[in-house]
Structure 1
């Protein structure tokens, strides 16, 4: 079980939206607050990221930016350039005669009712620079994406969305690799600590299993106390608290994406009765699972 991929897949509520913008300076684009995660890839040229409340950040070719909580921000060729509201339908931007910039901008639709710490614990602005020799898979994907956008060969309509989808996992992987530190708390450690990572794999692979702290500890070769301490330090909450929350997150996805009976959903995430599941779900979401599903169904 790939925990990072499972988290991203479960949190997504729809396809990513993206647009490529070709501009010559001076230019500037303002992006309103988004309930998803916003990203920018500098395909060619240079740009400045201007996040609200944060110092301007200079970006160059191959640099990638992720705003995991959709912070309002602007992107421009220079901090002093005039800023206009971004129009995703525009492939070219009002521009002058200055240097050219080619930028891919987009938004991932994510479930904000059940934020996962793999995203919620990230800073407001995540920058993965185009460091030579690092994150080769990410930068190869960016290169291929740029080529597909330029060439518009047959099949590009299928290739481009797939590459954009892959970017989210590749960006997160690159950032965690850059911020990995054995003594730090957080998901950079959780995904690389062998014992914690393996226990997360077990939980994500079988969220409906009757896991106990002792059983998880035995699977990763640690004492109960040592495992509980190590897991809590890395993940930010005890193992069974994480398990309970992940079960409800999984239940929400099943209700959203699949037309399964409530009893089947309850059993899949580890509840022996539909009543117990409905009670736990309402405690977390404020409404019973049947109502939750109806609210998501278009009229």
Structure 2
């Protein structure tokens, strides 16, 4: 089981949205806060990233550069830091298409970008997300992160040369790019002594996480997990806590309840069926664990939950998740 892909799949709230952005100086675009992560890839030309609240320290971006804003916060792009801003408002030729278009004409230099967003749910976000910096900036360094560079090159080719099939290729590349970005960030942080980047790359702890994600319904014990990865129980338990920040069975419960919460939103399966899917022998045991973790009974949650990123008893839900966000 690929833990990184599994965690992202549990957080997704929809397909990525993106817009081919053709602009000529002078231009400035203001991007609103979104529920997910914002990203920008410069294909041709250059621009400045203007983060909210830090306008004194803009970042210049060049062809092949990429930025990802973890919290989808308000920000701006412009040809120069002082250029007046207009709202980013892509036009969709097809309302069902995840690709839009933005064009701003002017007398100056041309810039081509792909600007977009990954739609991710904030509630019960995987703890890996909390460790990401607010802005991930990946310059177009030759030889670094070849997978990501290849994806960006392919995106650039599709945007520069419109050909049949592009409407299917671009969204798929954008979707894959998020995993490439997270890989690149992990590679740049693999020397850290603790944290999720190190946990996923660690043979023992990463192997235990993969085992949990592969079979969350199994009645795992710390001894089972340590034997799976070939470590003594005490050594494994200490290593897991040091890297992940919580004991193995605490993470197992958290992941089980994350699966259950998502299933309650998207399925009508009886609670006893759902209980067995996440490793509980009875509906009662499952309901008790769910309420302890999320602050509300699963039946009540299913009845009250709305198709949004909020949930009932928000204070108790946030409190139950505070162990991951500090």
Q: In the aligned structure 2, how far is the partner of 1:17 from the partner of 1:293?
A: 28
Name the SS for the 2:29 alignment partner: strand
Aligned to 1:41: 41
Q: In the aligned structure 2, how far is the partner of 1:137 from the partner of 1:287?
A: 43
What's the CA shift for 1:270? 0.8
Name the SS for the 1:91 alignment partner: strand
TM-score normalised by structure 2 residue count: 0.85
For structure 2, list consecutive stretches of 5 or more residues without a partner in the other structure. 92-99, 309-326
Aligned to 1:232: 241
For the aligned residues, what is the CA RMSD? Answer: 2.0
Name the SS for the 2:201 alignment partner: coil
Q: In the aligned structure 2, how far is the partner of 1:155 from the partner of 1:93?
A: 22
Counterpart contact for 2:24–2:110, Cα < 8 Å:
yes
TM-score normalised by structure 1 residue count: 0.92
Name the SS for the 2:170 alignment partner: helix
Could you report, residue by residue, the CA deviation over 1:244-282 in whole angstroms, capped at 9, with x for unpaired residues? Answer: 111111112323344433222211111111222223323
Name the SS for the 2:102 alignment partner: coil
Counterpart contact for 1:31–1:73, Cα < 8 Å:
yes
Counterpart contact for 2:260–2:278, Cα < 8 Å:
yes
Q: In the aligned structure 1, how far is the partner of 2:102 from the partner of 2:38?
A: 20
For structure 1, list consecutive stretches of 5 or more residues without a partner in the other structure. none
What's the CA shift for 1:93? 3.6
What's the CA shift for 1:30? 1.4
Change in 2 beyond 3 A, CA 1:260/1:157: farther
Q: In the aligned structure 2, how far is the partner of 1:149 from the partner of 1:131?
A: 21
The answer to whether residue 297 in structure 2 is matched with residue 288 in structure 1 is yes
Q: In the aligned structure 2, how far is the partner of 1:43 from the partner of 1:268?
A: 45
The answer to whether residue 108 in structure 2 is matched with residue 104 in structure 1 is no
Aligned to 1:214: 223
Query: How many pairs are equivalent?
Result: 297
Counterpart contact for 1:114–1:249, Cα < 8 Å:
yes
Aligned to 1:69: 71
What's the CA shift for 1:173? 0.5
Deviation larger for 36-45 or 141-150: 141-150
Counterpart contact for 1:187–1:234, Cα < 8 Å:
yes
Find the partner of 2:281 among 268, 272, 275: 272
Runs (4 or more) in structure 1 with deviation over 4 Å come to: none
Counterpart contact for 1:27–1:93, Cα < 8 Å:
no
What's the CA shift for 1:196? 1.0
What's the CA shift for 1:5? 0.8
Q: In the aligned structure 2, how far is the partner of 1:158 from the partner of 1:262?
A: 38
Find the partner of 1:118 among 125, 128, 138: 128
What's the CA shift for 1:203? 0.8
What's the CA shift for 1:297? 5.8
What's the CA shift for 1:98? 1.9
Aligned to 2:254: 245
